């Protein structure tokens, strides 16, 4: 599979279909509703003039639920509430990619890491996660419930340090309308000067802070902001424990350099002694870095079907699972291809990328095992091993960038290939460095 990825023909095919693939049930957050009249309580008296921020509710009890909008947005609400089954059966990534157990040693992800579930399962999934311990804080709720988003906006970052177990009792609402629409559902934008005062965008403080310029100037599509607020790379601020993001950065090489500059460590591998980083799920970053013809597509274009009446179906899907998406999005540009041919090609590309991930991951595990043996031998000083530990940190970061991205690289094949090639090169260089250590 690795060789196949390197051929010109295959690379061209990857670019052809890259951004149009969804591999997970929860790839994007709630997005645009159909064009309807503004809700009566939208408080949208001003629809012209300077942009105005949409007010944030001050208490979680003021968050409106799907039931509140059912009569006004019946199709959107019914499809959202129907989104309770994963697009593929939930499996453990630790079984799909066994090398993870080796490279994630010391991380909570070595305990449990499953394939995605629907948005409505997000909160309970977090509460049931084996990764949660007595040391876990409420920041783990950051993208699991709008109640945390409201609490952070009203209380600030201090909520991030509250114990997860104590805050768990107050977090009762999973991802819902408010996450992407506040209490102003509709086709929307992020300011009152457009779309009759309906809102679509990000409600997360960290994302809005990191990408403030892009959002305020209108350069970020509201649908991408709605999804990107949770589907992105982030870290935990060492001082407050709150979710934070490198300001305006989406490129993995720039972010890696930034983390090195601030001395960030997510965990220490107990076997190698390396100070490691853990990539989150950089779907937004991957798409934002894309410069191909697919760059004009939004998350919603590829992951949310349109109903016959023009409204947006809020049951998440993707080209692998939706003939409607393939017909109305993919095949409008990629003419001369039948639906069956397109689906077959997408499936082949998916398998090929997973094969490349496995090849790179196995090499990373081999390198990690060799470094662990050298570390445990007691023969070498920190001065001898630290440069090789830095190589482990480097190689794993770039593999992880693709491994943890829900499309497994298909959102941006060029970037994915670059990251995996870099990871493989650094891992082999690390093995060579170990081989040169005095015996």
Task: Output the average pLDDT for the chain.
Answer: 87
Same domain for 175 and 75: yes
Residue 388 lies in a domain: yes
Alpha carbons 210 and 399: distance in angstroms, whole number: 24
Residues 354 and 378 in one domain: yes
pTM, 2 dp? 0.88
What pLDDT band is residue 76 in, cutting at 50, 70 and 90?
Answer: very high
Q: Of 214, 230, 246, which one is at a domain's C-terminal end?
A: 230
| Separation between Cα atoms, residue 356 and residue 341, nearest integer Å | 23
Of 188, 213, 230, the one marking the end of a domain is: 230
Per mean pLDDT, which of 289-303, 370-384, 399-413 is the most reliable?
A: 370-384
Residue 90 belongs to a domain: no
- Tell me, yes or no, whether 258 lies in a domain: no
Identify whether residues 315 and 410 lie together within a single domain.
yes
Q: Give the end of a domain, one of 210, 230, 250.
A: 230
Give domain status of residue 248, yes or no.
no
Q: Give the percent of the chain with pLDDT over 90.
A: 77
Verify that 269 and 183 share a domain, yes or no.
Answer: no
The CATH number that applies at residue 208 is 1.10.1130.10
For residues 298 and 192, membership in a common domain is answered with no
- Reported as a pLDDT band with limits 50, 70 and 90, residue 194 is low
> Do 337 and 220 fall within a single domain?
no
Question: The domain containing residue 273 runs over which residues?
Answer: 1-26+99-114+264-439
Residue ranges of E strands in 254-375: 267-268, 275-276
E-assigned strand segments in 130-177: none
Average pLDDT over residues 141-153: 95
Token pair of 238 as six digits: 């060492």
C-beta of residue 220 within 8 angstroms of C-beta of residue 28: no
pLDDT of residue 56: 78
172 plus 280 within the same structural domain: no
Check whether residue 223 and residue 313 sit in a common domain.
no
Q: Pick the residue with more confidence: 396 or 199?
A: 396
Residues 35 and 15 in one domain: no
- Looking at the fold, whether 166 and 303 belong to one and the same domain comes out as no
Count of the separate structural domains present in the chain:
2
In the prediction, which pLDDT does 29 show? 35
Please check whether residues 296 and 272 belong to one and the same domain: yes
pLDDT at 111 over 90: yes
Identify whether 91 is part of a domain.
no
pLDDT at 273: 98
Please indicate, yes or no, whether residues 307 and 436 belong to a single structural domain of this protein. Answer: yes
First-residue to last-residue Cα distance in the chain: 36
**Helix (H, G, I), strand (E, B), or coil: what is residue 272?**
coil
Q: The domain that contains 411 carries what CATH number?
A: 1.20.140.10
DSSP notation for 71-126: TTSHHHHHHHHT--S-SS---BHHHHSTTHHHHTTTSGGGT--B----GGGHHHHH
Q: What six digits make up the tokens of 89?
A: 């059966």
Buried b (16+ CB within 10 A) or exposed e, 84-104: eebbeeeeebbeebebbebbb
């Amino acid at each position: 599979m690795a060789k196949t990825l390197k051929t010109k023909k295959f690379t061209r095919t990857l670019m052809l279909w890259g951004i149009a693939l969804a591999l997970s049930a929860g790839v994007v957050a709630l997005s645009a509703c159909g064009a309807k009249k503004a809700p009566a309580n939208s408080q949208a008296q001003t629809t012209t003039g300077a942009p105005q921020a949409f007010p944030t509710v001050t208490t979680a009890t003021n968050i409106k639920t799907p039931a509140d909008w059912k009569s006004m947005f019946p199709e959107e609400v019914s499809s959202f509430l129907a989104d309770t089954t994963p697009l593929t059966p939930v499996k453990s990534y630790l079984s799909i990619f066994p090398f993870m157990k080796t490279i994630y040693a010391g991380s909570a992800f070595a305990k449990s890491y499953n394939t995605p579930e629907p948005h409505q399962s997000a909160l309970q999934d977090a509460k049931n996660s084996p990764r949660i311990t007595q040391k876990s804080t409420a920041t783990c709720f950051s993208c699991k419930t709008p109640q945390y988003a409201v609490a952070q906006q009203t209380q600030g970052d201090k909520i991030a340090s509250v114990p997860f177990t104590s805050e768990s009792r107050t977090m009762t609402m999973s991802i819902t309308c408010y996450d992407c629409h506040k209490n102003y559902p509709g086709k929307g934008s992020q300011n009152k000067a457009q779309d009759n005062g309906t809102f679509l965008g990000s409600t997360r403080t960290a994302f809005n802070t990191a990408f403030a310029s892009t959002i305020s100037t209108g350069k970020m599509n509201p649908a991408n902001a709605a999804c990107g607020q949770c589907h992105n790379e982030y870290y935990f601020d060492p001082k407050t424990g709150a979710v934070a993001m490198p300001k305006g950065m989406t490129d993995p090489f720039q972010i890696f350099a930034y983390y090195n500059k601030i001395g960030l460590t997510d965990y220490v591998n107990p076997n190698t002694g390396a100070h490691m980083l853990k990539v989150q799920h950089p779907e937004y970053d991957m798409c934002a870095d894309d410069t191909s013809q697919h760059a004009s597509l939004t998350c919603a274009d590829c992951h949310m079907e349109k109903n016959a009446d023009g409204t947006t179906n809020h049951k998440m899907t993707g080209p692998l699972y939706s003939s409607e998406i393939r017909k109305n999005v993919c095949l409008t540009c990629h003419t001369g291809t039948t639906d069956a041919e397109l689906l077959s090609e997408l499936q082949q590309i998916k398998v090929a990328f997973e094969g490349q991930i496995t090849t790179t991951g196995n090499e990373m595990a081999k390198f990690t095992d060799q470094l662990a043996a050298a570390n445990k031998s007691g023969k070498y000083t920190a001065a001898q091993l630290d440069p090789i530990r830095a190589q482990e940190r480097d190689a794993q970061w770039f593999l992880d960038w693709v491994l943890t991205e829900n499309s497994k690289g298909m959102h941006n094949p060029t970037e994915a290939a670059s990251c995996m090639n870099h990871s493989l090169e650094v891992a082999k260089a690390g093995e060579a460095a170990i081989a040169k250590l005095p015996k």
